[in-house]
Amino acid sequence: MKTKTGLGLVVLGIGVFVAWKLWTKTRNEMPVNVPVSLFPGQAVTSQFRLNLDGLYLIEIEAERNIPPETLHCLMGVEADAAQCKDIAPAIGATWILSRGGHEIGRGTSLESHTAPVQTGNVARVIGEFPGTAGQDYRLEVAITADGRRLQPAHPRLRVVISSLAKTDFQSASVLIFSISFVCILFGVILLGIAFYVRRAIAGRTQPNGKARELEKARVRHITKPCD
């Protein structure tokens, strides 16, 4: 019974861990990532499907191939306004989000939003929305400001899950790992106990050296032919 239970726990722990890893590999944390031209009047439309619940950010991201001071000012993410007195922000956009043909959200880049997801590039959040897995969405973004100065930085429009949602996702991963580890640990302990018990039983039932000699002598006496 201990052997079967131990093996079952080990298999369960490994199975849960492998299943979680396979499931996480199919999650799409960035359903939209397309180039965008920041010319006034330009519009970008993206249709996408989510497979992960959480808060999603609508961002414009730029590469760091413009001097950092200039890039931060053009993106409108420089905290010190005095550093940008001669450089006006180049990001201006409005967006509309719909699902099933019905508008469910809209906003502009002028509103306050959640901090962008940290990457190697510079990002400006222009909107956010709570996303539901298994739902299809349509995002329309209209450019309202002249952002041609950002074109050398190859700007892209992204929809990406927020850092807060990623933190919850990582916490769930830690919990799954802990459960798997505990199952495997107790399974190995039970297997060790079962192995020790079997050896102990085998040692008690196996005759010692003196008993074996007596048994052999008795057998020889019984089988010895009569004179």
Residue with tokens 């905290």: 79
Confidence of residue 225 (pLDDT cuts 50, 70, 90): low
Q: Three-state DSSP class for 160?
A: strand
Where is pLDDT greater, at 169 or 9? 9
User: Each residue of 187-198: pLDDT tens digit?
Assistant: 888 888 877 877
| Count of helices and strands (H, E) across the chain | 4, 8
User: What are the residues whose beta carbons fall under 8 Å from the beta carbon of 45, sequence distance 6 or more?
Assistant: 138, 139, 140, 141
Confidence of residue 120 (pLDDT cuts 50, 70, 90): confident
The closest of 90, 99, 77, 109 to 40, measured between CA atoms, is 90
Q: Three-state DSSP class for 152?
A: helix
Burial of 135 per CB tally in 10 Å (0-12, 13-18, 19+): middle
The answer to whether the beta carbons of residues 41 and 138 sit under 8 Å apart is no
User: Each residue of 49-97: pLDDT tens digit?
Assistant: 999 898 999 999 999 988 888 888 898 887 677 788 888 888 999 999 9
Q: Mean pLDDT throughout 146-161?
A: 92
Distance between CA atoms of residues 18 and 11, nearest Å: 10
Confidence of residue 177 (pLDDT cuts 50, 70, 90): confident
pLDDT of res. 102: 94
- Whether 151 shows a pLDDT value over 70: the answer reads yes
Where is pLDDT greater, at 15 or 48? 48
Tokens of 208: 């010692």
Q: Does the global pTM surpass 0.85?
A: no
pLDDT of res. 104: 95
Average pLDDT, the chain: 83
The answer to whether the beta carbons of residues 77 and 85 sit under 8 Å apart is no
pLDDT of res. 217: 57
The residue type at 100: G
Where is pLDDT greater, at 157 or 187? 157
- Whether 223 shows a pLDDT value over 60: the answer reads no
Question: What secondary structure does DSSP assign to 103-139, as a single string?
Answer: EEEEEETTS--PPPPP-SSEEEEEEEEEE-TT-EEEE
**Torsion over CA of 115, 120, 91 and 41, rounded to 10 degrees?**
-120
User: Each residue of 25-42: pLDDT tens digit?
Assistant: 888 889 999 999 999 989
